[in-house]
Structures are given as structure tokens and as C-alpha cells.
Amino acid sequence: MKAGGEEDVLIVVDVQRDFCAGGALAVPEGDAVVEPVNRLMEQFRHVVVTQDWHPADHSSFAEQHPGRQAFEVVEMSYGEQCLWPTHCVQGTGGAEFHPDLRWGRAELIVRKGFRREIDSYSAFLENDRETPTGLAGYLRERGLKRVFLAGLALDYCVGSSGVDARWLGLEAWVVEDATRPVSRDQSLTLMRARMAAIDVGSVTTEELSR
């Protein structure tokens, strides 16, 4: 499968310290995505990276809900929301990109989750499913129509970005060996079903290099 052309864009999702080993919300094997992501960035003419960028009192943090624990699900104004450990706080080391990520090739950095009252998984829309990040308009104006997704984590931000890309009329592919899930249980099963239902494709770095 040939990729990396003028209408293709690689979106590298949230490869940040807090999602990697030793971080506040470490994804199992999260560090393993860095090497394949770096190789992909060399292959693509167009690269976008996203960065979780929360205020310290973000409403998705469990510590903002007395009596609640991390990973509990609560009802927000926009629907169900998983509560998370405090992570990727603006200006902290945990919000920085992984030190080995060669993100300097990115044409755009999309910061998301900076509105206190709404969490943001997708690179395109926040969790209210209405508030845009601006990425869709950027891709449209640049003539970028085929999206390849890598980074962290497959069952939340990467998968949600793929679903929204398709919903917005873009072709979307998840690069399987350049992403990892938070959990290999229910959240991953549900996300794979959502992606399959809307024709988000699956590919590997080897297939993209042929």
C-alpha cells in the first residue's frame, strides 16, 4: 500500500510522557510506538501531532470529583465520561512529547482537552461531539483526504480520531504496530467495533513501506 503522497497525512496522537513508562497514565508498552512512529514520519510529506493539554482542574480528573476514583464512569453534561488520574497538565513535564519522538517534522501541533468542562479524545472533535479542534478545516484547506493514525491510545484517542475522520468524510487507517491500547478488554473491543462499523481501515508499517 503506497502512502505518504500529497493527499495523505500522518496524525501522531498524544505520544507524551504521561502516557509512556513512568507517566501518570502510562499505556502498557506505550514507549514501543516511538520507533515505528519516527519511521512513519520520515515516510510522510505531511505530519500532524496532537497533544493533550489539560488545565490542572480539568473536569475529567478523578480528584475533581470527591468520593470518586480514577477509571470510574460519571455522567457529564455531554454524556458518560471516564474519570482519569491527573495527567498532561499544561506546562508540566508529563505533557511534553516523549523525548525520543522526532516531532519536529510536524507541520501542525493540535492541542486538545484545554477546555476545563469538556474532555477531548479525538483529534477532530471534543467529547461533546460538537466542539471542533479545527483540524478538519486545516486538512480540508490543505487538500489532505487520507488520514493515517498512530500513537496513544488505540482504544480512546487514536480510535476516536479514526471514527471522526470517517464521519467527516475522510479515508482513515490505523497503523496497528504504531499504536497501543490502554486496555485489551472491553474498551478495545468496543472501539474496534466502532471503527469497523464506519470502515476505518487497518494497516501495518511494513505494508506502508512496500
CA distance 120 to 109: 15
Q: Look up 145 and say whether it is catalytic.
A: no
| CA proximity to 40, closest of 175, 201, 138, 142 | 175
pLDDT at position 187 is 94
Any residues with CB less than 8 A from the CB of 185 and at least 6 apart, and which? none
> What value does the mean pLDDT take over residues 58-77?
97
d(CA 147, CA 149): 6
Span 91-131, pLDDT tens digits: 999 999 999 999 999 999 999 999 999 999 999 999 999 99
Q: How many whole angstroms from its chain centre is CA 57?
A: 21
pLDDT digits (tens, 9 = 90+) for 47-66: 999 999 999 999 999 999 99
Active-site entry in 14, 52, 119, 164: 14
Q: Which CATH architecture has domain 8-52+98-208?
A: 3-Layer(aba) Sandwich (3.40)
Q: What is the DSSP letter of 89?
A: B
In this prediction the pTM is 0.97
Which pLDDT band holds residue 2 (cuts at 50, 70, 90)? confident
Q: 20, 119, 157, 164: which one is catalytic?
A: 157
Cα dihedral across residues 196, 162, 176, 121: positive or negative: negative
Choosing from 8, 20, 52, 112, which is the catalytic residue?
Answer: 112
In the structure grid, which three cell numbers stand for residue 99, read together?
Answer: 523525548
Q: Active site includes 2?
A: no
